[in-house]
Amino acid sequence: MTGATPSTNPARPRRSRPRSFLPLGIAAWLVLEIWLLTVVADTAGGFTVFLLLIGGIVLGSVLIKRAGRRAFRRLSEALQQQQTAAVPAADRRGSGNALTMLGGLLLIMPGLISDVVGLLCLVPPVQKVLSRYAERTFERRLGAAAPGSFGDAFQQARIRRPDGKVVQGEVIRDDTPPASRPDADPRPPLTP
């Protein structure tokens, strides 16, 4: 038989090209990091490389801690405004908490290339460009999400009839005791 063999699992989707080369890219990045560390160690000395790695760990930890505190503070302020029904302040988009945390994480990882990329994530113009790109990509993928996927979950939160009207109502579960149901008769059932 010279024909093509049928697929053993036809329902399994094909891997995209970037996903198939991701393990190879990670391996190449690790080899490059190790090679660069040995070159710098030969040139500047092993103790200098050790100090660079320790400095990256300390700086990355401080950055992640500050960004986490800032995010928690903004969350608590938003919850406080919601409870007091105050008008929310102007939304500060692009505050860079996610990119600051990513930069801190890259600084913590051992390696000089990851340190440089982590430091680039901390530069405000780079943060603006990366956050705009990430927002556009997220919106584009959310708009192109297939029904029943994760992206469609945001659309399913609003239940609407085909004519566009919102369906009002409440959910009554069968496992709730009859006395706590709103449609239950408060009188005890008649026994024959």
Q: What is the mean pLDDT of the chain?
A: 78
pLDDT confidence bin for 165, thresholds 50/70/90: low
Alpha-carbon span 119 to 55, nearest angstrom: 13
- Over residues 34-65, the pLDDT tens digits come to 999 999 999 999 999 999 999 999 999 999 99
Give domain limits for the chain: 25-87+95-146
Tell me the three state secondary structure of residue 25. Answer: helix
Alpha-carbon span 109 to 28, nearest angstrom: 16
- Over residues 93-124, the pLDDT tens digits come to 546 788 899 999 999 999 999 999 999 999 99
Alpha-carbon span 50 to 55, nearest angstrom: 9
Residue 182 pLDDT exceeds 70: no
Nearest to 112 by CA among 31, 9, 25, 34: 34
Alpha-carbon span 82 to 126, nearest angstrom: 32
